[in-house]
Amino acid sequence: MKKRAMATVLSAAMVMSLAAGTTMTASAEEKVQLTGLFVAHPLTKSVDEMQWLQEIEDKAGVEITWEQIYTDWDQTKSTRFASGDIPDILINATVDSDYTTYDGLFMELTDLIAENAPNVTAMFEEEPDTLALAKTYEGNIYGLPKFQGKWPDCNGVFFINKVWLDNLGLQAPTTLSELKNVLIAFRDNDANGNGDASDEIPLDFNGWFGAAYSINNLIGSWGIQLTNWAYDGYFAEDGVVKNYAVDERYKAMMKYFADLWAEGLINPNAITNDYSMFQSLSRGDENGNALVGVVMGWEQTDKFGPTLHEQYIPCGPFVNDIDDLATSEPRWTYDYSGLNMSGNRVCMSSFCENPEAAMKFIDQFYDAETSVQVLFGGITDGCVGKVEDDHYEVLPPLDENTDPGTWKWTSSMADNGPMYIRRATVIDMAQDMEYALNEREQYKEAIARIDMENEYYPQMLMKYTAEDTNNMAVMQANVTNVTDNYWALWLTGESDIDADWDAYVEAANAAGLQDILAIRQASFDAFRGK
């Protein structure tokens, strides 16, 4: 590698200089030698090719020998952690439970941050949730999070094919009954205009509880406010932690979806299709015909590809006008925390012999300009342009055959790296992110209805004792076994939800749901009192 070759050259120069009786002061002599590990995305190039990384090493006065891991880290890390075989700095390599499972292996960082990390300190002060995310139940800090405050408020967009609407003389639906009627029209007419009235799929989805692109995100039409994907069905209402899987409003939603299924309005393969099949179907057939009328996705070019994306527009949320749980103010999932923060981006070995130098280097990742390069690629690498101080431009991919999202993952640490992108930093985004931000204007009014005090439930910030964590894991597996065994049966009509409901709720509670809710409530109350 380049660094090792340079070290060899410098060593030879030192020998020659000493033999001549002179004193050599080389920059490499002054640098603190550290080791680092980065668990990378499969697309990501070698860290030794990232010029911005070399620049912050120089700035921090360190030289790091990197190990880059692409696959099987989850399978191999336990052996390495158990043996204590870890480098000084680890990026994207740990989860919260590692700090208790391997007690004593990782450095507690609180004092080091205060003395050596002004950028991290600024992040904690300006974005307090990042400090809550970083702290363990006991209040210690082992892993540092990231904050990339330019991502939107919600993960999923509900797209509808505008060309199909126009072909049939229809308007985008605004209520649940209108949505059903539009789906029926898509089913019964040659909406895509290819002469085959049977190849249209009115509605498609992917996954269920906590899935980003599942139709159960529409539970907001029944007034339930989901936040950060509501993993396993948990949400907060009036300050009380609940689970919508046993809520009467979920029952009502399932009846609506079962009716759509019975009408042949939902992709019959949606239950079993994996994500790649889900994506492929939305990109049409080999002749360029759109096949899907309504579907959730991240962003239109990502979801529908380069040729079909202009056919689709965002729609929803939908007013509930079909049952006695009707609400004129539908909700939409609020995902800002989950999209803009992640924990454990970087940590330090407790055996690091130069922790101050390591902390100063880590802090460089959280510099305003460096953070932009961590996410999108280096300025000197031609990935990002600096317009002026605190104003940057994401440049088109140097590889014209690569889309901006793929190029980002290829060029830098991207979302796997430590960073603090300030809200005040101006970034002219690539086209895909411009689309993503503009599409979500559709949901601003609904998202504004969230009561941040009593309905914002960021599961990622909740802290638990090791005992509670272990107990919840066991109970949740039992609860999930109940909830996952029913929804597809109800959706397809193989089982009657009215006949099953009471026994289903009783079984979920007997599996430990109420105990989980009690543990979560205590943590939520502690979080709200922070």
Residue with tokens 């509880």: 209
pTM attached to this predicted model: 0.85
Q: What confidence tens digit (pLDDT) does each residue in 400-418 have?
A: 888 888 899 999 999 999 9
Residue 5, pLDDT above cutoff 70 = no
pLDDT at res. 19: 40
Which pair of structure tokens corresponds to residue 72? 């099987």
How high does pLDDT run on average in the chain? 92
Kindly report which listed range (203-207, 287-291, 302-306, 471-475) carries the lowest average pLDDT score: 302-306
Residue 249 and residue 224: Cα distance in Å, rounded? 8
Q: How confident is the model at residue 12 (pLDDT cuts 50, 70, 90)?
A: very low
Q: Print the SS3 string covering 228-287.
A: HHHHHHEEEECCEEEEHHHCHHHHHHHHHHHHHHHCCCECCCCCCCCHHHHHHHHCCCCC
Residue 287, pLDDT above cutoff 90 = yes
Residue 21, pLDDT above cutoff 70 = no
Residue 413 and residue 396: Cα distance in Å, rounded? 18
pLDDT at res. 102: 95
The 3-state DSSP class for residue 71 equals coil
Q: How confident is the model at residue 8 (pLDDT cuts 50, 70, 90)?
A: very low
The answer to whether 37 and 87 have CB atoms below 8 angstroms apart is: yes
pLDDT at res. 166: 98
| Mean predicted confidence (pLDDT) in 287-298 | 96
| Mean predicted confidence (pLDDT) in 352-366 | 98
Q: What confidence tens digit (pLDDT) does each residue in 143-154 have?
A: 999 999 999 999
Residue 102 and residue 92: Cα distance in Å, rounded? 17
β-sheet with 201-203: strand ranges across = 201-203, 292-297, 157-161, 312-315
Residue 170 and residue 425: Cα distance in Å, rounded? 42
User: In DSSP terms, which residues pair with 423 in a beta bridge?
Assistant: none
DSSP string covering 3-43: HHHHHHHHHHHHHHHHHTT-----HHHHSEEEEEEEE--TT
Q: What confidence tens digit (pLDDT) does each residue in 309-342 have?
A: 999 999 999 999 999 887 779 999 999 999 999 9
The 3-state DSSP class for residue 500 equals helix
Q: How confident is the model at residue 110 (pLDDT cuts 50, 70, 90)?
A: very high
For the chain, domains (ranges, CATH) are 34-151+340-429 (3.40.190.10), 155-333+436-530 (3.40.190.10)
Residue 457 and residue 335: Cα distance in Å, rounded? 10
The answer to whether 89 and 34 have CB atoms below 8 angstroms apart is: yes
Residue 374, pLDDT above cutoff 80 = yes
Residue 3, pLDDT above cutoff 90 = no
Q: How confident is the model at residue 76 (pLDDT cuts 50, 70, 90)?
A: very high
User: In DSSP terms, which residues pair with 385 in a beta bridge?
Assistant: 393
Residue 292, pLDDT above cutoff 60 = yes
DSSP E strands, 357-446:
384-388, 391-394, 420-421, 426-428
Q: How confident is the model at residue 29 (pLDDT cuts 50, 70, 90)?
A: low
pLDDT at res. 530: 59
Reference 291, options 229, 202, 369, 357; nearest CA is 202
Residue 13, pLDDT above cutoff 70 = no
Residue 24, pLDDT above cutoff 60 = no
pLDDT at res. 96: 92
Residue 1, pLDDT above cutoff 90 = no
Residue with tokens 């689970």: 243
Residue 260 and residue 300: Cα distance in Å, rounded? 24
Residue 272 and residue 278: Cα distance in Å, rounded? 10
